[in-house]
């Protein structure tokens, strides 16, 4: 049997039609298949590879940590330098009140931890989330996901979860003294890059403060420079009580985190002790890789280039068959005429050595979320290929 046959035989499948490219390597902004074909990566591992694939600094940091130690003990019991250093770096780059980091294995696990934290700290049960939201696919995260199609097969889910539209008065009105938390993405990703109204987001922040509910912002996609600022919430002049991190956090290695104040986070240390625990969360190799990628992001000026690159995409992606282009930095949705149009576009791009994708709640949109290292000439080429596919 070929490796492709073994892939379909022995690996659990997430869909009936995976892309199925056999990957032999990845470097910079490109994926390389087993026949040596190079694909310009317009997805970046779904906003994971912000500093590109296998950045030399990240590879070097991984190799250095491998020589020291791998897993030694469940999270939180031993002092491990990569965890301490990374938590300190993140805290220094986040606003006051976001200075205590709990590392997890993924963004979905960060969501789970934050939901537990909100219920434990407030002593309340009511959770408010947003329609067309995506926070992961574990059971708690699925409970706050904003689309019944994805939830219905797995009910019953968490009780006392209420969902309202983004930018709606109904969501504001629903926040009350029984609310443990409001959880939402700073910019909705899987909805097809939908940004909140600044006044509305400020009102949500204020209502949470008034009712002593925790305000949880999901920066799993919008963090680490993706929107043109280090954190997406910086565009809105607000600070959440809890921020969720993942995707680019590990520099290509699996890593997530939820971050809050020391006071709030300490509620997980007693009644019961070990109120949240993980074996591999904050793995030292993943933290070492994350530190290296974070340093590249901060020191190489990548974030300063995001807005220019965003505008180049927006400027070039003009065509009679493009209904709308929505963007938040290098998180871009290109809305076409239908889901079928997007499927055909993805195939056209693959035939022309460009790798792209769609959105869960906006299947009529092409996803563009490349490494922040993408070059202007690569943007021009990608846009030319997309527009040529629309002319077929």
Domain at 58-299: CATH code: 3.40.640.10
User: Could you tell me if 194 and 327 are in contact, meaning their C-beta atoms sit under 8 angstroms apart?
Assistant: no
Write out pLDDT tens, residues 212-263: 999 999 999 999 999 999 999 999 999 999 999 999 999 999 999 999 999 9
Instruction: Report the DSSP pairing between strands 126-130 and 179-185.
Output: parallel
| Angstrom distance (rounded) from CA 367 to CA 342 | 9
Q: Considering only CA atoms, which of 372, 379, 361 is closest in space to residue 194?
A: 361
pLDDT value, residue 392? 80
Residue 171: predicted pLDDT:
98
- Domain 3-55+301-390: state its class: alpha beta
Q: Is 58-299 the same fold as 3-55+301-390?
A: no
pTM of the full predicted structure? 0.96
Structural domain spans, the chain: 3-55+301-390, 58-299
pLDDT, position 317: 98
Averaged pLDDT for residues 113-141? 97
Q: What is the pLDDT of residue 72?
A: 97
Token pair belonging to 339: 């889901």
**Does residue 73 have a pLDDT over 90?**
yes
Neighbours of 262 (CB within 10 A): 10
pLDDT score of 31 more than 90: yes
Three-class SS state of 31 = strand
Q: At what angle do helices 376-390 and 339-351 cross, to 10 degrees?
A: 120
DSSP one-letter string for 225-251: TTTSSSSGGGGGT---SEEEE-GGGGB
DSSP 256: E
Cβ within 8 Å of residue 222, ≥6 positions away:
185, 186, 187, 189, 231, 232, 328, 331
Q: Is residue 14 scored above 90 in pLDDT?
A: no
How far apart are alpha carbons 104 and 245 in whole angstroms? 9
| Coil/strand/helix, residue 154 | helix
């Amino acid at each position: 049997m070929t490796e492709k046959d073994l892939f379909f035989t022995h690996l659990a499948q997430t869909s009936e039609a995976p892309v199925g490219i056999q990957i032999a390597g990845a470097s910079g902004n490109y994926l390389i298949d087993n026949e040596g074909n190079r694909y310009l990566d317009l997805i970046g591992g779904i906003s994971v590879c912000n500093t590109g694939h296998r950045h030399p600094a990240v590879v070097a940091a991984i190799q250095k940590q491998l020589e020291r130690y791998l897993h030694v003990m469940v999270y939180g019991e031993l002092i491990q330098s990569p965890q301490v250093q990374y938590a300190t770096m993140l805290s220094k780059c986040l606003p006051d009140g976001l200075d205590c980091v709990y590392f997890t294995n993924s963004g979905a696990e960060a969501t789970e931890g934050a939901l537990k934290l909100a219920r434990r700290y407030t002593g309340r049960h009511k959770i408010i989330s947003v329609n067309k939201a995506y926070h992961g696919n574990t059971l708690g995260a699925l409970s706050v996901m904003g689309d019944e199609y994805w939830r219905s097969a797995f009910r019953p889910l968490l009780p006392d979860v209420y969902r309202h539209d983004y930018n709606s008065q109904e969501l504001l009105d629903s926040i009350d003294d029984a609310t443990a938390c409001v959880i939402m993405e700073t910019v909705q990703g899987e909805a097809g890059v939908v940004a909140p109204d600044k006044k509305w987001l400020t009102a949500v922040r204020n209502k949470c403060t008034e009712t002593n509910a925790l305000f949880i912002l999901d920066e799993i996609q919008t963090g680490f420079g993706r929107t043109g600022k280090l954190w997406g919430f910086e565009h809105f002049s607000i600070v959440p009580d809890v921020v969720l991190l993942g995707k680019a956090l590990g520099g290509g290695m699996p890593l997530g985190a939820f971050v809050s104040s020391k006071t709030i986070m300490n509620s997980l240390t007693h009644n019961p002790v070990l109120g949240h625990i993980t074996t591999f969360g904050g793995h030292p190799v993943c933290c070492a890789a994350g530190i290296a990628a974070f340093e590249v992001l901060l020191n190489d000026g990548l974030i300063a280039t995001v807005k220019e690159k965003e505008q180049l995409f927006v400027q070039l992606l003009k065509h009679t068959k493009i209904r709308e282009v929505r963007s938040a930095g290098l998180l871009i949705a290109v809305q076409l005429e239908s889901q079928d149009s997007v499927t055909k576009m993805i195939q056209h791009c693959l035939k022309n050595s460009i790798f792209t994708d769609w959105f869960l709640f906006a299947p009529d949109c092409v996803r563009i979320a490349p490494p922040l290292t993408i070059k202007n000439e690569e943007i021009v080429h990608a846009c030319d290929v997309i527009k040529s596919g629309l002319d077929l």
